[in-house]
Amino acid sequence: MTFERLSIFALAALLAACAEPQPKEMDFSPSELRVVSGRAMGSTWSVRFVTDQKQAGKSRIRDSIAGRLETIESQMSTWRTNSVISRFNNSTNLTWFHVPPEMFAVIRTSMEISAKTGGAFDITVQPLVKLWGFGGNEPPAHMEIAKIEKVHATVGMDKLLIRANPPAIRKTRPKLQIDLSGIAKGYAVDEVARILDGYGFKQYLIEIGGELKSRGESPKGHPWRVGIERPEPGKYQIVNAIELTDRAIATSGDYRNFRELGTRSYSHIMNPMTGRPRVLRNTAVSVLHDSCMVADAWATALAVLNFPESIRFSEASGIACQVILKTDTEVTIHPNRHWR
């Protein structure tokens, strides 16, 4: 689970999302499409919204969004040494550690989804992420089973305690560390949607690092269309397009961030039940949900599972899921019965 997933794009914004944003102030006629963008959470973000001159201006919207994303990063980014999550991870204290209410809400949701997925979603995998050389850490030359087992013993949601009032979390193992990258971007998308709703916007499409959420229709009067990438390293080709109205979509893929170790390629997707990363299979798992935070976490969890187990499990759980597989000869698309 990292901040490096870039698997879904707004079709109209595909090229813009890959470049450094340079927003400019412009005059718009009523009910025009406006775009604001920037960088956050180790990736890019963009918001496309339909507005008129009576509503808030572009600069004000961008500042509101950028400020909210900055707050989220200051709490939940493992890349920032002074963030709340980094201070918790670097501590070996077993006493209660106070966290902001919004960070607590993300952690509590993580625990709920972990229980629903049988442990496939687990925010305590950070020590394993480091061990296997992901998240900015040096990849190992080789891996010893004893070392995997030692680190794996520190992992598990049962080793993390939470307290709602006042919001706090507590380690039961000094070396326990958490990683919210499998859910935080989805939460950020939901927060941006909340900002836009507060300004009164009824038509918008939000994208942060490949996770999207829409409301209403596009300026042309039809559902927003988003594309899902071909799950293959080095390829940036859309192979599947869907219509998105009043829903969120998140995708977890194993083909962008991986390591070579011996004769195998390992994805950044960590299996919390085995202590090992997923072997690269060129797979993309997408989830549709009203909440982008929930979609984000479920996509992460289902990516841990093998196909077709992810389809069976998502169907039994009432989750709309689609899996795209790339083999040596073809790309196949497998939606479950809840998809769309």
Kindly state the percentage of the chain with pLDDT values over 70. Answer: 82
Is residue 328 scored above 90 in pLDDT?
Answer: no
**Whole-angstrom distance, CA of residue 254 vs CA of residue 299:** 11
Q: Which residues, listed in sequence order, are joined to residue 287 by a DSSP beta bridge?
A: 250, 321
Give the pLDDT of residue 140. 65
Tokens of 129: 């992420």
Main-chain phi, psi angles of 331, to 5 degrees: -115, 125
Taking the CA atoms of residue 237, residue 217, residue 181 and residue 19 in that order, the dihedral angle to the nearest 10 degrees is 50
Q: Are 314 and 300 in contact, with CB atoms under 8 Å apart? A: no
Instruction: Specify the number of domains making up the chain.
Output: 1
Which letter, b or e, does each residue of 84-99 get, where b requires 16 or more Cβ atoms within 10 Å of its Cβ?
bbbebbeeeeeeebeb
Model confidence pLDDT, tens digit, residues 199-217: 999 999 999 998 999 999 9
Q: Are 168 and 98 in contact, with CB atoms under 8 Å apart? A: yes
Q: Are 278 and 25 in contact, with CB atoms under 8 Å apart? A: no
- The enclosing domain of 101 has a CATH number of 1.10.3980.10
- Count CA atoms within 13 Å of residue 171 on its CB side: 18
The mean pLDDT value for 4-9 works out to 45
Residue 113 covered by a domain: yes
Is residue 316 scored above 50 in pLDDT?
Answer: yes
Instruction: Kindly report the average pLDDT of the chain as a whole number.
Output: 85
Residue 144 covered by a domain: yes
Model confidence pLDDT, tens digit, residues 34-72: 999 999 988 899 999 998 766 667 889 999 999 999 999
Residue 148 covered by a domain: yes
Residue 329: pLDDT band by 50, 70, 90 thresholds?
Answer: confident
For the ranges 28-32, 74-78, 159-163, 248-252, the lowest mean pLDDT is seen at 28-32
Tokens of 134: 């992901």
Residue 321 covered by a domain: no
Tokens of 239: 């192979």
Is residue 88 scored above 70 in pLDDT?
Answer: yes
The mean pLDDT value for 97-114 works out to 97
Residue 105 covered by a domain: yes
Residue 140 covered by a domain: yes
Residue 139 covered by a domain: yes
**Whole-angstrom distance, CA of residue 330 vs CA of residue 340:** 24
Give the pLDDT of residue 8. 52
Residue 292: pLDDT band by 50, 70, 90 thresholds?
Answer: very high
**Whole-angstrom distance, CA of residue 305 vs CA of residue 313:** 9
Find the domain containing 103 and state its range: 88-171
**Whole-angstrom distance, CA of residue 283 vs CA of residue 125:** 21
Give the pLDDT of residue 319. 97
Higher pLDDT, 243 or 237: 243
**Whole-angstrom distance, CA of residue 196 vs CA of residue 202:** 8
Give the predicted TM-score (pTM) of the model: 0.87
Residue 149 covered by a domain: yes
Q: Which residues, listed in sequence order, are joined to residue 170 by a DSSP beta bridge?
A: 161
